[in-house]
């Protein structure tokens, strides 16, 4: 598998945070290039990322640039061609069907989303990179 320039991509939580909040130095050159194409090519973000971000904000483990969670989600919704994908029962089932001994349900969901749609996944997470072959980083 490989990433083509004409591909919609799936974003992991870390990638969308760094890109949307202007922390480009946290992204690899290839990841930054992929993000720059989102307004033209499109990207998917599992809605579970919103929950994951919210929990980290509530626990004081994440600063989203002074935004409230609601304002940050509005900011994400304003990004052209970025779709926040609802997590339905089928995706939960797909995440459980992965032949992967990884316990984090959020990681499993983002991989299941990328896998079911046959799309590249933008993530720095090495556990995901080891499991899912179509990763941009």
Domains recognised in the chain with CATH numbers? 9-136 (3.40.50.1010)
The confidence score (pLDDT) of residue 5 equals 53
Confidence class of residue 7 from pLDDT cuts 50, 70 and 90?
confident
Is the sign of the CA dihedral 36, 24, 64, 115 positive or negative?
positive
Q: pTM of the predicted model, to two decimals?
A: 0.92
The confidence score (pLDDT) of residue 1 equals 44
By percentage, how much of the chain surpasses pLDDT 90?
Answer: 95
pLDDT at position 51 over 70: yes
pLDDT by residue (tens digit) across 57-105? 999 999 999 999 999 999 999 999 999 999 999 999 999 999 999 999 9
State how far Cα 103 lies from the chain centre. Answer: 18
d(CA 81, CA 46): 14
d(CA 52, CA 128): 17
């Amino acid at each position: 598998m490989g990433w083509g320039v004409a591909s919609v991509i799936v974003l992991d939580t870390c990638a969308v945070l760094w890109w949307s909040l202007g922390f480009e130095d946290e992204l690899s050159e290839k990841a930054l290039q992929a993000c720059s194409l989102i307004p033209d090519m499109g990207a998917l973000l599992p809605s579970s990322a919103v929950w994951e971000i919210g929990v980290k904000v509530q626990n004081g483990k994440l600063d989203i640039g002074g935004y409230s969670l609601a304002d940050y989600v509005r900011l994400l919704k304003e990004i052209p061609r970025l779709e926040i994908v609802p997590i339905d029962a089928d995706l939960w089932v797909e995440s459980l069907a992965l032949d992967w001994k990884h316990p984090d349900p959020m990681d499993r969901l983002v991989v299941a989303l990328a896998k079911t749609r046959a799309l590249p996944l933008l993530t720095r997470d090495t556990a995901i990179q080891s499991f899912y072959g179509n990763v941009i980083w």
